[in-house]
Chain A
Amino acid sequence: MAGLSEPSASEPRSDDAKVVVDGVGKVYESERQRVRALSGVDFTVDDGEFVCLVGPSGCGKTTLFRTIAGLEAATDGEIRLDGDPVTGPGTDRGMVFQEYGLFPWRTVRENVAFGLEEQGVPEPERSSRVGEMLGLVGLAEFADAYPKELSGGMKQRVGIARALAVDPEILLADEPFGSVDAQTRDMLHEELLRIWSETEKTVLFVTHDVEEAVKLSDRVVVMAADPGRVSEIVDVDLDRPRERTEPAFADYVDRIRTLIGE
């Protein structure tokens, strides 16, 4: 797949990468205290690559996610997408959240159509794009259901369809499968990998689950806490589909767990 033939992480990556995280630091300041959440975070994500961010809780991975998403501003450094600095949220970054974030008053179809409405996509195209996205995530029959009628896994597939509908440059996901059961999670992993290879999107995926990171990604950015920083970037050189039972898979998991200190 796309990522496997890419140059390895040890080679310097140029500024023509899809995403460049360049010396990003984040300090939260309140009247009583000053907390450094991120310090000197540097890494890049290539076009079409699947990168996971893992780390212990408190390592700032969610802060980093929110900064890349444009929901928070970096205190130092900057994030560039296709060379342009990120200054706020935008449709070039499709976002998928752990708590789904579906609009409960909109049906599945209407949720997926939301971003297209904002882009002013006119009606025949809009419906056909929504239909295409629902087909991609296998929810065509549930187009008229409200979110409350869906299981967690189905809700997240709507979330993915909605994020992809506006054809973003990159898909950002923050622990998207953290709220579903293990069996559903395995299924969603397969589905996400299929969608990734069909759409050839760049994916940046935050998780605390090391196995999930090894299962999915081309590279794993391992973070450490106090202050949040990148401790190592691990290339996952395994053929897909990957099985948790393979010894090489377990080696990667052990190596990353050791880095995290689990």
Chain B
Amino acid sequence: MSLETGTGAASDPAAAPEEAAEADSLGDLSEFDVSSLAYGAVGTTVFLALWQAAALAVGRTYLLPSPIEVATAFVVELTAPTTFTVPFVGASLPATRLTANLLQSLLHYLPGLVVGSVLGIALGVGMGWSGRLDDALTPVTRFLRPIPPLAWIVFAIVWIGIGHGGAAFIVGIGAFWINFYNAYAGVEGVSTHLREVAASLGVDDDLTMIRKVVLPAATPSIATGIRTSIGQCWMIVVAAELFGAPGVGFQIINAAQNLATDVSVAYMAVISLVFLVSDGAFRRVERRVLAWRD
């Protein structure tokens, strides 16, 4: 279709030069996309064919479910009716097994991600800005940082109990560190030059400097932290749910224990799809917000 646009512009001698150039570059872009899409399709087909062949050779679904069995399980889970009970409110909503599990996961994923990110960014900005705070807290942050979020499950259990709260706690720890380091690096990397320029233009207090110079300049780095944690937190969700919190990750292990590995893989695919959608959505927002970037 864009090829037609390109040809159309080229065959129309009256078209303004800029318009023609624009159409050409669009044409180039789509051609590139078409060829990479084609290669992608080939690669995917080969992968699925090899998987199907391997599954046929193994011959036992619980050892290796075929892509067709997984797709079937996915559709069954996506359509099997159930209800979803909204916590705190107590109301029951009609749902399907898949959407109900996904909502369960989101109930700890989202609060953990949001609270962990906000706290991590706040501490990162604080330590990146204030040398004294940095000196005071660096030993502690260096020591705590290498501990995998899941190790804190002990405290999730004894403080909160395993459930949405405990899982959100673990997710929050993961989001915290990722965002802490990106915000810290972003703030530390803000050029002295820009701060001097701002000072020469009348900025004479720390809060204004942070709000008008440091935060905007650190936004690309902070955004990278948020995007990374959006992905990493799904990994943590699955791990946290292995301990019994309801959701997609729990279904993966639960189905496997019943030898329904086709259902397990279907839920693995759910994680992947949700990640792709949320990452894609965030990238879109990032591109708009950071349109000024080189």
Contact between A114 and B292 (Cβ–Cβ < 8 Å)?
no
Partner of B201, one of A91, A104, A146, A147: A91
CB contacts (< 8 Å) of B193 on chain A: these are 97, 99, 101
The reply to whether the CB of A23 lies closer than 8 angstroms to some CB of chain B is no
Bound Cα distance from A88 to B201, whole angstroms: 12
Q: Are A148 and B294 in contact (CB under 8 A)?
A: yes
A118-B292 contact in complex given A95-B197, A97-B193, C-beta closer than 8 Å:
no
Q: A105 and B216 in contact (CB under 8 A), knowing A97-B193, A118-B208?
A: yes
Chain B minimum-CB-distance residue to A172: B200
Do A166 and B216 form a contact, CB below 8 Å, given A71-B196, A104-B294?
no
Residues 197-215 of B, flagged 1 when their CB comes within 8 A of A and 0 if not, give: 1111111100010001100
Q: If the complex has contacts A146-B291, A148-B293, A148-B294, are A103 and B199 also in contact, measured as CB distance less than 8 A?
A: no
Q: Given contacts A97-B193, A101-B194, A118-B208, are A90 and B200 in contact (CB under 8 A)?
A: yes
Contact A103 B194 (CB under 8 A): yes
Q: Which residues of A contact B200 (CB under 8 A)?
A: 69-71, 89-91, 93-95, 163
CA distance A99 to B194 in the complex (A): 10
The docked-state distance in angstroms from the alpha carbon of A103 to that of B294 is 12
Q: Tell me how far the C-beta of B120 lies from the nearest C-beta in chain A, rounded to whole angstroms.
A: 22
A83 to B67, CA, bound (A): 83
A147 — nearest CB in chain B belongs to which residue?
A: B292
How far is B164's CA from A223's CA once the two chains are assembled, in angstroms?
71
Q: Which residues of A contact B213 (CB under 8 A)?
A: 103
Chain B residue numbers with a CB within 8 Å of A30 are: none
Q: Which of B199, B217, B292, B294 contacts A89 (CB 8 A)?
A: B199
Q: Is B201 in contact with A166, judged by CB distance below 8 angstroms?
A: yes
For residue A128, CB closer than 8 A to chain B, the reply is no
Please give, as numbers and ranges, the residues of chain A lying within 8 Å of B204 by CB-CB distance. 88
With both chains docked as a complex, state the minimum distance between the C-beta of A51 and any C-beta of chain B, in angstroms: 19
Contact A146 B292 (CB under 8 A): yes
Which A69-116 residues have a C-beta within 8 angstroms of B? 69-71, 88-91, 93-95, 97, 99, 101, 103-106, 114-115
Which chain A residues border B224 with CB–CB below 8 Å?
none
B254 within 8 A of A: no
Interface pair B198/A114, CB less than 8 Å apart: yes
Chain B residues in 8 Å Cβ range of A95: 196-197, 200
Docked pose: A148 CA to B294 CA in angstroms = 6
B219 at the A/B interface (Cβ < 8 Å)?
yes
Which DSSP category, helix, strand, loop or mixed, fits chain B's interface?
helix
CB neighbours of A71 from chain B (8 A): 196, 199-200
- A-B interface contact total, Cβ < 8 Å: 63
**Taking the nearest CB of chain A, how far is it from the CB of B48, in angstroms?**
43
Q: Name the residue on A nearest B198 (C-beta).
A: A114
Contact B293 A118 (CB under 8 A): no
Contact A118 B203, beta carbon cutoff 8 Å: yes
Q: Does A183 contact B (CB under 8 A)?
A: no
Give the residue name and chain of the A residue nearest to B294 (CB): A148
Q: How far is the CA of A147 from the CA of B217 in the complex (A)?
A: 14
Minimum Cβ distance to chain A for residue B17 (Å):
19
Q: Which residue of B lies closest to A93 (CB)?
A: B200
Sort A-B residue pairs by CB-CB distance and give the 3 closest, nearest first.
A118-B202, A115-B201, A101-B197
Starting from the known contacts A89-B199, A97-B197, 19 additional A-B residue pairs (CB-CB under 8 Å) come to A69-B200, A88-B199, A91-B200, A91-B202, A93-B200, A95-B196, A95-B200, A97-B193, A99-B193, A101-B193, A103-B217, A104-B217, A104-B294, A114-B198, A115-B201, A118-B203, A147-B292, A148-B292, A148-B293
Q: CB within 8 Å of A: which residues of B?
A: 193-194, 196-204, 208, 212-213, 216-217, 219, 291-294
26 A-B pairs within 8 Å (CB atoms) are namely A69-B196, A71-B200, A88-B204, A89-B199, A90-B200, A90-B202, A91-B202, A94-B200, A95-B196, A99-B193, A101-B193, A101-B197, A103-B197, A103-B213, A103-B216, A104-B292, A104-B293, A105-B219, A105-B292, A106-B216, A114-B198, A118-B201, A118-B203, A118-B208, A148-B292, A166-B201
